[in-house]
Structure 1
Amino acid sequence: MKAISRRLLATTAAASAMTLALALAPAAHADSAYGCVYPQVCIYDDTSITSPIVGRFEQVTSGWQYLNNPQSYYAVYNTRNDDVVYVKDSWGVHCIGPSNSMSSSGRITALRIDSRPSC
């Protein structure tokens, strides 16, 4: 009987330690992907989100944020959960929803992060 109680106590203590470790672990950002860290919006060097990142933006603004070196053939990834991104390129203006991406053969010149939850 004592052996069963000791095993039960050891099992309970181990389960409690695991629960405490999980409770103290830092929250992961599942939204970070393709080298783009939450809450960034990243611009990639080509139409693939696996190509090198050439720009990173985080600020919600009321106006356009212009790129220093406008990029042709690009991709954009939005890691933000609740904000949309407007992208201005040679084809017009496009909206990217939260945790979404787009690519284009147009020449990207600017973007704007907006606090709206959808396009």
Structure 2
Amino acid sequence: MTSVRPRVLTHLTAVALAAGAATFAVATPAHADTAHGCVYPRVCFYLTYTDFNNNKPAAAYKDYGLQNLGPLARQSTWVLNTRNDDGALIRTANGTNYCFLPNKNNAIYSPITIDIRDSLSC
């Protein structure tokens, strides 16, 4: 009888591990990508376009709502929004607002605030 028990436990353990692995694989996000060194789901700021091409963000933001930018983000000249469903409204020192749509990038000059919104637009 003791020789049967280890075999049953081994089989049950294998089934449990396989079920756990299957659950883990299903729970992995489908759109969790990193682009140009910017880890999803962030909006990243780059000091230069060369830094953008070399995957070297100077600053990154991921929280919803209006936030003042730190010193490196304020010096940045390029922005990338890696979020899939959220727009990022960036205000510059001259009062102009720029909308960075999901998964888009562009030049920016003198940014001072960011407002990440739970919306495809800004």
Query: TM-score by structure 1 length?
Result: 0.67
Q: Report whether the alignment pairs 1:46 with 2:42.
A: no
Which of 103, 107, 110 aligns to 1:107? It is 110
Q: 1:90/1:117 Cα in 2 relative to 1: closer, same or farther (>3 Å)?
A: same
State the Cα distance separating 1:30 from its structure 2 match. Answer: 5.6
TM-score in terms of structure 2 length:
0.65
| 1:68 and 2:53 are equivalent in the alignment | no
Normalized per residue, which structure has more strand?
1
> Residue 53 of structure 2 aligns to a residue in which SS?
coil
> Identity percentage over the alignment?
32
Q: 1:56 aligns with which of 55, 60, 66?
A: 60
- Consecutive unaligned residues in structure 2, runs of 5 or more: 1-20
Over aligned residues, Cα RMSD in angstroms? 2.4
After TM superposition, the structure 1 = structure 2 runs for residues 18-33 of structure 1, keeping only pairs within 5 Å, are: 24=25, 26-27=28-29, 29=31, 31-33=33-35
d(CA) in 2 for partners of 1:39 and 1:67? 17
For residue 34 of structure 1, what is the amino acid of its counterpart? H
Aligned residue pair count: 95
Q: 1:38-61, CA deviations, whole angstroms, 9 ceiling, x for partnerless residues?
A: 101100111352253111100011
> SS of 2:106's equivalent?
strand
1:31·1:81 contact (CA, 8 Å) conserved in 2?
no
> How big is each residue's C-alpha offset from its partner over 1:10-58, in whole Å with a ceiling of 9 and x where there is no partner?
xxxxxxxxxx98x948555464200001101100111352253111100
User: Which of 77, 84, 87 is 1:84 aligned to?
Assistant: 87
Q: Pick the structure with more helix per residue.
A: 2
Structure 1 residues 84-106: Cα deviation after superposition (integer angstroms, max 9, x where no partner): 001111351100111111113x2
Q: Specify the alignment match of 2:100 in structure 1.
A: 96
Structure 1 gaps of 5+ residues are 1-19
Q: Post-superposition, which runs of at least 4 consecutive aligned residues in structure 1 deviate over 3 A?
A: 23-31
